[in-house]
Structures are given as C-alpha cells and as structure tokens.
C-alpha cells in the first residue's frame, strides 16, 4: 500500500466522517414530521440554493456530462446545459415563491403529493396514490444512478471491486439520511455543493493552463472532432429540442421544488435564485471543459478511456493533476454529487410514502414517531430496490438520470404550474393528466427511434404536453369545488 493510496483513503474517510457527523448532529432536531421532511421551513437562502442545485445536479454533472463530452457529444452537452440553466432560472422565478405560499395556504402541506391533494381537494385520495407511485418509481431509478456513480468512483480511485464500492456508498448515504432528515440533507448538500463548485473552478483553471492557456483551449473546441478521434454527433433540430427540453424537468422535480417550500422566507427567494444560478453556470462550464480538454490532458499521461470508462474522466484527471491527498478531497466532489442527490431523493420518496400513504390513508391518527419509523423503513426499502438496479457495472449514469428526469418533468411539471396559476384545475383533471403523462413517458422511452424518427425526441416533451393537455381538457369537463376556488383566491392575495 503506497503513501499516495493511504493519503486518498484519509481524505475520503475524513469527508465521509463529516457527512455522518452532520446526520447524527441533526437527529435531535427532528421533533415532528414537518421538521424531518421540511426542516420546519427555517432554512436560509444560501443553504436552500446550494442544496437545491447540488441535489439537482447529481453525479451526472461530474461523471455523466463530462463522459459525454469526452466521447464527442459536446453539442448535446452544451444544449442540455443551456436547457437546464434556463429551466432552473424559470423554476426559481415562477414556482419558488408561489409554491411556498400555496403550500402554506392549502393545509400547510409538507410533501408534493400532500400539496396536490390539498390544492385540488381530492376526496378519493387517488391523486395521492398515483403521485406516490410515480415518485417511488422514478426516484428508485434516479437513486440507482447515484449508487452507480459511487461504485464507479471507488473502483476508479482505489481499485475496489464495483459491488464493494456500491455497498460503501449506500451505507454512508443511509446513515445520515435516516438519522438527520431534511436539515441534515440540506446541510450536507450545502457542503457538497460548495466542494463541487471549488473542484470545478480550481481544476478547470489548472487544466486550461496545463494544456497551453485559453487560446489552446479554444482551438480544442474548434477542432474537437480531430482531437477526440470521434465524430461529433450530428445534431439536428430534434436533437436541440430534446436537449433544451431537459429544462422542463425543473417544474416537477419533488426533491428540488420541495426546497422552495422549506425556505425561511419568500423575501429570501430572490437571493437564493441568484446564488443558485451563478453556481450552475460556473459548474456546467467546468463540467464541459473538463470533459472536453480532459481528452488532451489525459493523453499527456498515456491515458485513453473507452465508452465504458469515459464517465471517469473527471476522477482520472483529478488523480493526475494533484498530490494524492488534495486529489482525494476533490474526488470527494463526485461522491458529494452522488450523495447529495440520492439523499434528497430518498427523503422525498420516503416522505411521500409515510406522510401521504401511511398517515394519509392507512392510519390517520398515527403519531409522529410512527410516521418517522415508516419513513426510515421506506428509505431502506427503496435503497434495496435501487441497489438491485445498479448491480450492473456497465450501467450508464447519464441514461438512468435521463429516464428518471423525464418521468418527473412529464408528470408533475404541468400539474405544479397549473396548481399555482390556473384556478379552474380539478382533481379528476389532475389525476387523468398525471396518469397520462406517466404512461406516455414510459412507453415513449422504450420505443426505439428506428420505428419512426419522432421517437428520437426526448420523452419529456410528449409526456409534458400529454399531461398538460389532458389535465386542462378533463378539468374543463368536470365541476370545480367552490371551496377550492375561494381558497385559491385567498392564496393569490397572500402577502409575499
């Protein structure tokens, strides 16, 4: 065992120890389900912003996106980044403040299914059941991508068996998610978001100057086809639309928009938005640069990655750029990205099951400790299923995230927007739209483009449109509750 190897282990142990400590330290603060799932709506703008963006970006920002650039997909990466940044900004602008107000006005809701049920006055509880089903389904897939990233990271850095690395990542994520709840998740996400930001800024600057400065970097972009040894993907209009459509996902991501509900005050949303957007722009530029110039940088060390290992371009670059301990710290950024998303998703999914199904339907008089017990059990169960989905070492982080992202954006996105801005939306309309959006998304995903070019379009687009149109049509054909209409008017008049 070399000194460099030991230094990396020390860096990782220190980092993982801090994450677990944060979880244990916040365990005593969870006196109610509102504390565990929403932090008592007491989270400040800095933590809210970095937590939202860190839990959004996931491991695909440090592995999936750079890997795509490394293999020649720079055009897709750039258009996707533009779509995501635009979607983030619009979500902060049009969803954040109204959602916090509306969730308080309609029963002080603390989960997205609870909010939708209260907003549309669903007496049948069918909306909650369908919402929780899709949340658990897509979060399980999304969580699997984080587990895959942890396993690939440990395998790349320490040579640990893929499945052993999988086990280590899962254990740490479970430790602080189960004990600490929302406050712990937000705090660790803030730390992880800061680490990701620093890693990208410092590493990108070093890499740029290592290969000859900004002029040479510009030449690499212009001649990327020759440098990478691969053909740039032919990117037509449909490809651009598909990449930009990633931005639609932000309107319906439960683990992201719940951050809007938990912020301390509506007056702090503007500040949080600016912080989050700056973080995103710089981080995405860093991801694209590392993935692209990493081709040239790694060749200096005789390293060439194939299609399977391309997603480790960031970790390989870090290991050749820094002394072992510093490299270990920055490599924790990948672990941070994986963990910050997985913990948020597990918490959002478990809150949906325990709060909306267990307490909402099965045992309405359940005590707070029982709700928290069910929530923690759900975290373990979803983790187990996600583990099974991530057992294949050839699993693609980008593909897993893409499917889960479209599922949430195409099902919940239109409903959230309609809930906040269209008084006439009804419960039957919401249920029909949710079902239609989810079904279209899954079916579209599995139909190959060889059947027809139209199926090459990212499934979030047809799913989003189907959900929106069906919700509007069914709502217009069904009667709206006068009570809900009056409550909606009250919400619109609430002070910011």
CB 247 within 8 A of CB 87: yes
Average per-residue pLDDT for the chain = 82
* 485, 488, 489, 490: CA torsion to nearest 10: 130
Q: Is the pLDDT assigned to residue 232 strictly greater than 50?
A: no
- pLDDT value of residue 412: 96
Nearest to 22 by CA among 149, 186, 168: 186
Residue 107 to residue 84: CA distance in whole angstroms: 31
Q: Is the pLDDT assigned to residue 435 strictly greater than 90?
A: yes
CB 256 within 8 A of CB 250: yes
Residue 103 vs residue 332, higher pLDDT: 103
Task: For the full predicted model, state whether its pTM sits above 0.85.
Answer: no
Residue 344 to residue 306: CA distance in whole angstroms: 31
What is the rounded average pLDDT of the residues 430-440? 97
- pLDDT value of residue 103: 92
Q: Is the pLDDT assigned to residue 459 strictly greater than 90?
A: yes
pLDDT-based confidence at residue 292 (cuts at 50, 70, 90)? confident
Query: At how many degrees (to 10) do helices 254-262 and 112-120 cross?
Result: 80
Pick from 115-124, 209-218, 417-426 the range whose average pLDDT is largest. Answer: 417-426
What is the rounded average pLDDT of the residues 163-173? 82
Pick from 147-151, 308-312, 324-328, 445-449 the range whose average pLDDT is largest. Answer: 445-449
- pLDDT value of residue 306: 80
């Amino acid at each position: 065992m070399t000194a460099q190897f030991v230094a990396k282990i020390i860096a990782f142990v220190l980092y993982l120890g801090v994450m677990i400590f944060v979880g244990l330290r916040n365990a005593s603060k969870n006196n109610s389900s509102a504390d565990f799932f929403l932090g008592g709506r007491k989270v400040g703008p800095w933590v809210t912003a970095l937590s939202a963006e860190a839990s959004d970006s996931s491991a695909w920002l440090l592995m999936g996106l750079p890997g795509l650039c490394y293999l020649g997909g720079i055009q897709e990466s750039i258009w996707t980044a533009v779509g995501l940044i635009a979607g983030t900004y619009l979500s902060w602008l049009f969803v954040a403040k109204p959602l916090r107000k509306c969730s308080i006005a309609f029963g002080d809701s603390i989960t997205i299914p609870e909010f939708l049920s209260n907003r549309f006055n669903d007496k049948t509880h069918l909306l909650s059941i369908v919402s929780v089903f899709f949340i658990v389904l897509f979060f399980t897939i999304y969580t699997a991508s984080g587990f895959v990233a942890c396993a690939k990271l440990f395998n790349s850095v320490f040579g640990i068996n893929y499945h052993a690395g999988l086990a280590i990542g899962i254990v740490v994520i479970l430790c602080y998610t189960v004990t600490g709840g929302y406050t712990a998740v937000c705090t660790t996400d803030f730390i992880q978001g800061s680490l990701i930001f620093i890693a990208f800024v410092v590493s990108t600057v070093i890499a740029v100057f290592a290969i000859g400065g900004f002029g040479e970097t510009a030449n690499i972009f212009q001649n990327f086809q020759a440098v990478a040894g691969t053909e740039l993907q032919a990117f037509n209009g449909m490809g651009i639309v598909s990449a930009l459509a990633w931005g639609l996902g932000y309107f319906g991501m439960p683990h992201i928009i719940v951050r809007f509900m938990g912020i301390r005050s509506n007056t702090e949303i503007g500040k949080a938005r600016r912080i989050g957007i700056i973080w995103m722009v710089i981080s995405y530029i860093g991801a694209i640069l590392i993935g692209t110039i990493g081709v040239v940088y790694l060749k200096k060390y005789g390293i060439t990655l194939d299609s399977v290992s391309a997603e480790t371009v960031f970790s390989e670059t870090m290991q050749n750029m820094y002394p072992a301990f510093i490299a270990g710290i920055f490599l924790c950024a990948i672990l941070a990205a994986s963990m910050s998303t997985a913990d948020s998703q597990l918490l959002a999914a478990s809150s949906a099951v325990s709060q909306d199904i267990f307490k909402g339907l099965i045992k309405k008089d359940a005590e707070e400790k029982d709700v928290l017990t069910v929530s923690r059990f759900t975290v373990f169960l979803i983790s187990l299923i996600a583990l099974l989905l991530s057992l294949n070492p050839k699993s693609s982080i980008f593909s897993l995230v893409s499917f889960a992202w479209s599922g949430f954006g195409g099902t919940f996105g239109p409903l959230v927007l309609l809930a906040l801005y269209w008084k006439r939306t009804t419960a039957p309309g919401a249920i029909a739209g949710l079902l239609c959006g989810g079904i279209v998304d899954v079916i579209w995903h599995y139909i190959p483009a060889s059947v027809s070019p139209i199926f090459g379009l990212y499934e979030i687009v047809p799913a989003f449109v189907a959900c929106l149109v069906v919700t509007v049509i069914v709502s217009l054909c069904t009667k709206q509750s006068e009570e809900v209409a009056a409550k909606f008017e009250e919400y619109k008049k609430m002070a910011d």
